[in-house]
Amino acid sequence: MSGKHFYQDEYLVYDPAVSPHFEVISVPRILHKEGAGYFRYGRGVVDELDPSIEESEWPPSQQVLSVFSSETGQWEERLFLREGKAAGTIADMRSACLLVQKRHAAYWKGEIYVGCEADFVMRVSLASKTYQVIEPPVDVEAPDLPTLQGLRLGRSEKGVYCAVAVADFLLRSHQLRVWILEERAHNQMEWVLKHEAKLYSVTTSYKYNTRLTKGPWIFQDTNCFSRAGEGHNVDAVEQAKLEWDSDDDNVLQIGDTYSNKLYGSMDLLGFHPYKEVIFFRESMERALAYHLNSSKVQDLGKLYPTHYRNYKEIRGSFPYTPCWIEDSPVNN
């Protein structure tokens, strides 16, 4: 199969608590099928595939992946073998809905979990040079809850999680579902539903303060005001007040009436890496933190960067975990 039928997504394999060194793995994704006779991904590539390629398994029983090592400073080609069955044929995967430009990944205990077509997950072990296909949760495509975003994959307190937030326009709410990945007998992986909630009380009942909100988090180069260009010269003292504490009681009160209509969409931004907290944005501009154990919601403030115009859309996000290089074993 020619490389023109695929494009590459790179993923970071790194845990500073284990080692100061990291790797980057390049995982191919199939060119998406837009419609009958027309194939495109982002760049406008148009390409027909040979029927024999369409009928091939995906992922294949073995494939060569490019891996970068920070120890050697070089890329190298490594042969990986598939354990277990394939997700389907290339034709199946090409027809799968692709509504996001970039899938997500999670690194946990020496293995990286990569989101793939049709919400399948590929578990890749760089140590054993193997990969395994993990099926999506069995109830993720319930007919009364159509998926608009696809699954959000991430690492949190107890392992690898995935979540989906689905709009219910009749009830003016969002249905949040969260699963955690568990390993069964014979190396079989299974998604177990951990949390389910309706978030209409969050997205419709809180009266947002368009000024600085006390107690969320620190945003670097962020417009915390209601309009683009307003309040760019916030001094360091004011910025210090914006540090977010996940144990703080800065909670949205359900009884505070905001509106009787669905204010906007709710998109998942990612998982807290060490606590069971999900970050999401409301109406494409406000950041919130949702605690799975208590169903507590915290307002994190305005989401747009300082010079970001209000009509722009946020296309991607990931939680950032600071790493202090001077504290690593290499520098001690």
Q: pLDDT, tens digit, for every residue of 105-146?
A: 999 999 999 998 888 999 999 999 999 999 999 866 543 444
Of 51-65, 89-103, 234-248, 249-263, which one has max mean pLDDT? 51-65
Taking the C-alpha atoms of residue 72 and residue 21, their distance in angstroms, rounded to an integer, is: 10
In a domain, 71, yes or no: yes
Report yes or no on 96 lying in a domain: yes
- 227: confidence class by pLDDT, cuts 50, 70, 90: very low
Predicted pLDDT at 180:
97
- Indicate whether 275 belongs to any domain: no
Q: What's the pLDDT score for residue 327?
A: 53
Q: Could you tell me which of 15, 204, 216, 3 has the C-alpha nearest to residue 108?
A: 15
Q: What angle do CA 94, 188, 91 make, to 5 degrees?
A: 10
Tell me which residue range forms the domain holding 112: 1-135
- For the entire predicted model, the pTM comes to 0.78
In degrees and rounded to multiples of 5, residue 331 shows phi and psi of -100, 10
* Beta-sheet pairing, 74-83 with 130-134: parallel
**Backbone angle region of 186, left / alpha / beta, with phi > 0 → left and psi within -120 to 50 → alpha:** left
pLDDT for the residue numbered 326 = 54
User: Does the pLDDT at position 91 exceed 80?
Assistant: yes
Q: Per mean pLDDT, which of 94-98, 184-188, 305-309 is the most reliable?
A: 184-188
Contact 136, 121 (CB under 8 A): yes
Would 6 be classed as within a structural domain? yes
Residue 98 near residue 32, CB atoms below 8 Å: yes
How many domains in the chain? 1
Is position 164 within any domain?
no
